Structures are given as C-alpha cells and as structure tokens.
Structure 1
Amino acid sequence: MRRSVAGGEIDDDPGRVDVEAVWRYLSEEAYWERWRDRGVVERQVRGAWRVVGAYDGATGRQVGFARAVSDGESFAYLADVWVAADWRGNGLGGAIVSVMIDEGPGARFRWVLHTRDARGLYVRYGFAAATERVLERPGRG
C-alpha cells in the first residue's frame, strides 16, 4: 500500500525499508531502548509482522518508520514509531499510524504501545490509558 502525504510517501513494503536509516535514528535520536545494537534492530525490522515506512517523495530517503509485532489474528504491538525532525508537523506521523493500524490487515486487532510522548497522536487513533487488567513485566536489560 502506498499513499502520498505532504511531499512524502507512506509505504508498507518491507523490502523498501532502509535498515541503516532506522538504526541511525534509533541509536542516535530515539529515547527508548538505546541498549539495542545494530544486529538487534535489523532482526527486529526483518522479523516484524508488519512495517510501515515514510519516504521523501523527491529523494526516496527514509524519513519515518513504524513496526508491529503480532500474532497475526487479533493482537498487535506498535513499536519504534518515529519521524525525522525535519519532517515533523506535517501529518506524516499520523499517516504512518493510520496505515499501520487502520488500513492494513490489523484493522480489527487490539493494539498496544508504550510511549512517553506523542500521546495526543495516539489518542486520535483510539489508544487510551491501560486498564486495571493490564500487567507488565519490564525487560531486564
């Protein structure tokens, strides 16, 4: 699935993902899971149930990304959502989330994510604070 947004392009083709660009963002700019080395990130991208990338419409440079882990039937976890600083504020983040959770094979799934920023973005797509039934065991690393 391809869609144009604000001079960029959203695409869910896993073969188009620039793993080096994803690694560079996650290792240099992201605040989460900075312990991962390049091999871990590459395995996570390649092993994802689904990926959605955002690309500069003129140059093809990767400017955003999200991946999902799923059982493929009813549940998915949204991870590693990012948009390059010079592309923020033009709807690209929302387009990535929309394509991932509303316009693909997981449109009817229960989705989960962890974040400490961009909560307003996720609320627009139906995310809410977890309920009293949710337990979590944080990673040990």
Structure 2
Amino acid sequence: MEYEFDTDPARIPRDAVWAWLSTEAYWGRTRSRADVDAQLDSAWRVVGVYHPETGRLVGFARAVSDGVTFAYLADVFVVDGHRGQGVGSRIVRTMIDEGPGAHFRWVLFTRDAHEVYRRFGFAEPDETAMVRPASSS
C-alpha cells in the first residue's frame, strides 16, 4: 500500500492525534486536549501519514526545534493495522533525514522502541547530555 506522507501542519486531524495519544500512548495519557493542541500549535515540524483510499491519519510525529542545530522528536505513532509495513521507519526518515533538520542533533525519549531508533543513528546519551525529569507536582 502506498501511504501519503505530508508535512503540512494544517492537514493534521487534531481529533485523531488527540484520540490516539490520550488512549493508546503510554507517554501521552497525562496531557489534556489543550496541552496537545498547544504542542501542535508550537511544533517546528510535523509528519502525517494518510491512508491512500480513505485519507484517514494512520501515523504521526512532531518535532520541537531551535531551527538551527537541535531538535526533539516526539509523539511518533502508527495506528494498529498499519504497523509492520515500514510506516514508522518512513515517518522517522521523513522527519529527520529528509527535512530541514537532517544535520541537527536529535533527541527523543522512548521506553520500548530503542532498536527502531538505533537504525537512524540514535544512541544512549554521551557525557554531554543530562536530563531533568518532570516534576510530579
């Protein structure tokens, strides 16, 4: 199946992104709808993946960046029924290798997809990286 990959933020169906993040994503369930909308509004770049016949969103990613040297990859997902067909890898390739941030330093957080991201050059942080965890209050 030939999916359509598009980086137009105006085309992203916010209801579909919200529905997936708020019910399926272990990392997204604590956000409110207003939070997700604010993140979409301020995203540096987005990638939407659309079914060729129905036009429905089947995959998504967003990035935050300074636009010069650094970017954070977030909220990468592929809906059930479309996984295992290379959609996730193509989302990441479209976002980081085929976009304006191809030479940036990219970071991301994942609990369970380390091997997927290693294929794109991601590795555990080096001695220059530190992370301040979110506060619980």
| SS of residue in 2 equivalent to 1:78 | strand
Contact kept in structure 2, 1:101 and 1:107, CA below 8 Å: yes
Deviates more, 1:125-134 or 1:90-99: 125-134
List, as ranges, runs of 4+ consecutive aligned residues in structure 1 with deviation greater than 6 Å: none
| Counterpart for residue 68 of structure 2 | 73
Report what 2:103 is aligned to.
108
Q: C-alpha displacement at 1:7, in angstroms?
A: 2.9
* Superposed displacement of residue 132, structure 1: 2.5
For the 8 Å contact 1:7–1:58, the answer to whether it is kept is no
Alignment gaps of 5+ in structure 1? 1-5
When normalised by structure 1's length, the TM-score is 0.93
The unaligned stretches of length 5 or more in structure 2 are none
How many residues are aligned here?
136
Distance 2:29 2:135 in 1: 13
Displacement of 1:85:
1.1
Structure 1 or 2: more strand by fraction: 1
- In structure 2, which of residues 12, 31, 35 is the aligned counterpart of residue 17 of structure 1? 12
Structure 1 match to 2:121: 126
- TM-score with structure 2 setting the length: 0.96
RMSD of equivalent CA atoms: 0.9
Q: Secondary structure at the match of 1:117?
A: coil
